Structure 1
Amino acid sequence: MHFTVAIPTYNGASRLPKLLEQLRTQVNTEDLVWEIIIVDNNSKDNTAEIVRQYQANWPEPYPLRYCLEREQGAAFARLRAIREANGELIGFLDDDNLPDTNWVAAAYLFGKEHPNAGAYGGQIHGDFEVEPPENFKRIQSFLAIREGGKKPHLYDPDHLNLPPAAAVVVRKQAWCENVPSRPTLGGKANGSMIQGDDYEPLLYMHKAGWEIWYHPTMQTYHQIPHWRLEKDYLISLIRGSSLCICHLRMINAKTWQKPIIIARIMLGSLRRAILHLLKYRWKVKTDLIAACEMEFHLSSFASPFYFIKTSLVSQFVRYTGKNQTGFV
């Protein structure tokens, strides 16, 4: 099989119909053998029922499949999709990210023309329910918006410049040969907003020599409701996106490099936080964008402490067989 569209979802009953209808309008796929897999990450709503209804009346030549992944977290849903997928290329789509009608064809063609590409993403535009605040473009990347121009180019994984999982294509071979079966970062789950789970597998692929590309012909539209522009949500999102920085930088680091990386993260983040405070002063409390940027600097500074803490906990669990609460 040529291509798999994988849709990890949690409580996506209200969002999936729009995405499935958009996938049914894909063009230039007549010569492709492809499939759609919905990975239900232990939803509490009627996601499974919605998918069953679609399956019962699915006239398309490409199959619509469903599987349930009970281990909570987007990273585990993506791992399940990799195991279930029959395609040599797997295109992940978040359930609130709508693709252009040529997305599948463009994604497959690029992978075929770039055999060294282990992963690649395209343009992700924001489709806002309400007008975003002034200067929102300064922080729009935290909402998986990517508008990197009209020319394909390589990403820069060494500086954590990578495509988000909201609309990324991975080569199954590159993933299966290089990505561990258990992620370090599981994704947002059980109240945690810690992220980085979408970057972690790409860094392992990069370490093995696979290229990570930006391909602008692949365009999607991220549906962003009004509440995702509220301060509390954005601050929490940015905190989770920043606390994982040290974890991510350690993935491809040698042992002797790790103390240097920690020092650079802390000193660099502290310097940027001080300069930011000097520039905006009290606006860091009243201006939404300035406040979000300050949160990024402070949480980046704290990321080595989070890395050390979780590493110690992991070692404790490994040697004692107990979790943080003391239970096996």
Structure 2
Amino acid sequence: MAEVLTKSLDVTLAIPTYNGATRLPKILDLLLKQVNVKKINWEVVIIDNNSSDNTSEVISNYQEIFSNECSLKYFMEPQQGAAYARLRAVREARGHLIAFLDDDNLPASDWLAAAYDFAIEHPQAGAWSGQIHGEFEVKPPEDFQKIQAFLAIREHGDKAHLFEPERLNLPPGAALVVRKNAWFDNVPQKPKLSGKLPGVFVQGDDYEPLLHIHNAGWEIWYNPAMHTYHQIPHWRLEKDYLLKLARGCGLCVFQLRLINAKNWEKPIILIRTILGNLRRIVKHFIKHNHELKTDITLLFEMEFYLGSMLSPFYSFRCFLNDITRKIT
């Protein structure tokens, strides 16, 4: 599908949100303070993913303020799931670049300018992300840095480098910038992974579009000049949440590996996913048996390995559910 050029802008800054009325003012205030943006024609688009709070009222109050800097638009997306909110943002965007921020991301004052400059310097980059630092309400558990990437905290140093999509080494959807034509031309309108839903915690919706973009020949980059701060409330560091997150991150692994796989590769991926993670589970248990009872970081890793091992079975169950829905 060709990129829509009518009334196009340089950048659309898209914020998917769900019940974000208390979080949105903080990020919108920071967007009003962005520096070095006079050279950029940009807009802000809020995608409300079925909020039940007063999100729409909060946005309405900010729209007049933003009219002096750039336009602030509001859209309701009834299809639940982060993946659908992002797809709606892409459809509504007028920018050649789409910069995604979650409603709990706090961008540095030069984040937008750094994202825009990188696009000019790296024309083969289809998507890029930067440093995402944690802003914690309470102190993280010991050795948290081993699992912090699962909470979209990414600090990979001060040198720009390519990600490795073949190894599922990719940036999160939060604080991600994509070229609209790279997404429009390559990302399916029906995602395999929709993102978190009530009662469902399977992850991977961040990575799915990037795998399609990379398969089309675009590069995926890390740009250290872009800094954001991810607000982590206390409940996201509690045991129950972390273990659900770990299992959800594991359950998407098989489906992600199938996205760009050839048919003959799929049985090999199936065997490697099950046996490879079984080996990791056994090794992890032997090495950390006694510590698993008390160390949340080690428990997280074990739960991720278990979820990854079970991911082919989860994928098969989803396939059966799709067939059942079509029949009925």
TM-score, reference length from structure 2: 0.96
Give the equivalent residue in structure 2 for 1:76: 84
CA distance in structure 1 between the aligned counterparts of 2:154 and 2:65, rounded to whole angstroms:
35
Question: Aligned AA for 1:232?
Answer: D
Measure how far apart 1:309 and its partner are. Answer: 1.4
Give the equivalent residue in structure 2 for 1:237: 245
Further displaced range: 165-174 or 54-63: 54-63
Give the equivalent residue in structure 2 for 1:212: 220
Measure how far apart 1:191 and its partner are. Answer: 2.0
Deviations 1:250-286 (A, max 9, x none): 0001111111001001111011111110111122122
The DSSP-based 3-state class of the residue aligned with 1:57 is helix
1:312 partnered with 2:320: yes
CA distance in structure 1 between the aligned counterparts of 2:323 and 2:186, rounded to whole angstroms:
23
Measure how far apart 1:43 and its partner are. Answer: 0.2
Structure 1 residue ranges without an equivalent (≥5):
323-328
1:150 partnered with 2:158: yes
Question: Aligned AA for 1:38?
Answer: I
Question: Aligned AA for 1:185?
Answer: L
Structure 2 residue ranges without an equivalent (≥5):
1-8
Deviations 1:276-298 (A, max 9, x none): 10111122122111111110111
Give the equivalent residue in structure 2 for 1:14: 22
CA distance in structure 2 between the aligned counterparts of 1:25 and 1:267, rounded to whole angstroms:
51
Measure how far apart 1:313 and its partner are. Answer: 2.2
Aligned 8 A contact 2:215 2:260 in 1: yes
Aligned 8 A contact 2:48 2:75 in 1: yes
**Within 5 Å, which residues of 2 pair with 1:1-328?**
1-318=9-326, 320=327, 322=328
Measure how far apart 1:59 and its partner are. Answer: 4.7
CA distance in structure 1 between the aligned counterparts of 2:41 and 2:65, rounded to whole angstroms:
20
The percentage of counterpart residues that share the same residue type is 58
Deviations 1:10-69 (A, max 9, x none): 000000000000111100001110010000001010000000011133353211111100
Aligned residues: 320
Question: Aligned AA for 2:231?
Answer: Q
Question: Aligned AA for 1:205?
Answer: I
Give the equivalent residue in structure 2 for 1:325: none
The DSSP-based 3-state class of the residue aligned with 1:88 is strand
The DSSP-based 3-state class of the residue aligned with 1:150 is coil
CA distance in structure 2 between the aligned counterparts of 1:57 and 1:291, rounded to whole angstroms:
47
Further displaced range: 85-94 or 285-294: 285-294
TM-score, reference length from structure 1: 0.96
